[in-house]
């Protein structure tokens, strides 16, 4: 899926707040939640997201989806990560 296709998909799914996020190489965030639903397309690098259902690594072209208030932790790869994300209020 291209970035343009992803942006169009976000709009059809009701994600109105869209931005690009970049995280530092080797960084991490301990378990936390967000007051919004998130859907993201990995553009560069990689990210591993750990939820109750397990750990999943995402690379360029992959999409991850987190529900409103879903507890998760994040770990960024050796090149960091850059992703396009849509947020929908919970």
CATH number of the CATH domain containing 37: 2.60.120.10
Q: How many domains does the chain have?
A: 1
Chunk the chain into consecutive blocks of 10 residues (it has 90) and report each block's average pLDDT, rounded to whole numbers: 94 95 97 97 98 97 97 98 95
Mark 27-62 as b/e (b = at least 16 C-beta within 10 Å).
Answer: eeeeeeeeebbbbbbbbebbbebeeeeeeeebeeee
Domain that residue 76 falls in: 3-89
Give pLDDT, residue 90.
Answer: 80
Angle at 50 between CA 5 and CA 2, to 5 degrees: 10
Q: Among positive and negative, which fits the CA dihedral 44, 48, 49, 55? A: positive
Strand partners, 63: 41
């Amino acid at each position: 899926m291209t970035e343009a296709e992803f942006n169009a998909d976000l709009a059809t799914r009701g994600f109105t707040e869209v931005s690009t996020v970049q995280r530092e190489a080797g960084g991490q965030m301990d378990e936390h939640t967000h007051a919004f639903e998130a859907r993201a397309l990995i553009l560069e690098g990689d990210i591993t997201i750990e939820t109750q259902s397990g750990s999943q690594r995402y690379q360029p072209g992959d999409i991850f989806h987190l529900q409103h208030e879903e507890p998760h932790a994040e770990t960024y790869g050796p090149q960091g990560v850059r992703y396009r994300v849509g947020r929908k209020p919970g």
